[in-house]
Amino acid sequence: MRRIVEDVRQRGDDAVLHYAQRLDGLQKPMDVSAQEMRAAGRSVSPDVRRAITLAAGNIRKVATRQVPRRWTITTSPGVTIEQRVTPLNRVGCYVPGGRYPLLSSLLMTVVPARTAGVGEIVVVCPRPDANVMLAASVAGVDRLLRIGGAHAIAALAYGTASIRRVDKIVGPGNAYVTAAKAQVSRDCAIDLCAGPSEIVIVSASGRPGWIAADLIAQAEHDPDARAILVTPSRRLAAAVADECARQLSREGPAAAALARRGGIVVTGSIEEAIELSERIAPEHVVCDNDKVAARLTRAGTVFVGRRTAQALGDYITGSNHVLPTGGAARGRGGLGAADFVRLTPVQRINARGLTRVGPAAVALARAEGLVAHARSIEMRLEGRER
């Protein structure tokens, strides 16, 4: 992976094309034209077309509320601080295209970026199908490229003759994509390093069939996905285990994931179940009611109530499904429109403000031993021109 990133950084388009043909099986032009996107979109079934439109609209509604606002405050007489909000110039969105080209990931990354006012949005997807192309058109993608993996990440981060470097790279991907994002993050901002997907269900009284279905659905993402039920009820634990065995196909990624990283944990109380979930800080948490949800503060997102299927959040509710994994929810939430803007403080101090706050700043600077800092303020307080 490191070799691929460095090769793209050194050789640019030649390296990108080489790896795209070798690893992505690229046979068509790298760029997907607007005409091709429109033609492919016409082949999408009406129900999927309507669903894409609904999902994009809901994501846009949430993103609109997430955009930080400009404000100005006076902290002392003569001292004003402004928060300036400016969208990023150019963003790269990664859309997985392995077993399943994830049109939902395109919507979850592009729509918030467009809502935040990003000037140019480039999407990379190794094998975009007609659904992805339609989603790209609906979301307002400026450029769609048939490339993926570490070479796509490197091209976005460092630029080539034909691909302009971006200000930030967002979106989920496999282990190679995540590792490439981590490597280029020294030179290009990224959203987060997401690992295999996770779900923790904290329940004392849920429906066993529905809980099992949620565990299996999450395990379907990846053989390394983690799906765990935490419950104080032995009866519920046994019923969910039976349902998983009944519903689960013996083959496929869901079976592999549940065998490797799935589990049911019986706790002594619902309080212990909540505490365990908080220690895990998972990507998704599902719980029975608002009383429990109020105590679940370490999670990428929380789903409350029997009918709030986690899979709904993957697609249609409007909340973003690009979320922290591996315990990263201890320190941050999911992707949102705020990830696509710069917050720049603008500071203004007039003569009155200098008189009010200058002496205190001098005292703090000298307390830290930074004499030059103090003198730069004192010269202004003394009115020196030179």
Catalytic positions are 283-284
Phi, psi of 222 (to 5 degrees): -165, 145
Tokens 């307390």: give the residue. Answer: 367
Residues 6 or more apart whose Cβ sits within 8 Å of residue 285: 199, 200, 201, 202, 277, 296, 299, 301, 302, 303
Residue closest to 193 by CA, chosen among 331, 20, 9, 338: 331
How far is Cα 51 from Cα 195, in angstroms, rounded to an integer?
Answer: 27
Residue closest to 75 by CA, chosen among 351, 357, 360: 357
Residues 6 or more apart whose Cβ sits within 8 Å of residue 368: none
How far is Cα 287 from Cα 299, in angstroms, rounded to an integer?
Answer: 12
Q: ∠ CA(335), CA(347), CA(112), 5° rounding? A: 15
β-bridge partners, 266:
231
Give the pairing of strands 284-287 and 301-304: parallel
β-bridge partners, 287:
202, 304
Phi, psi of 334 (to 5 degrees): -85, 180
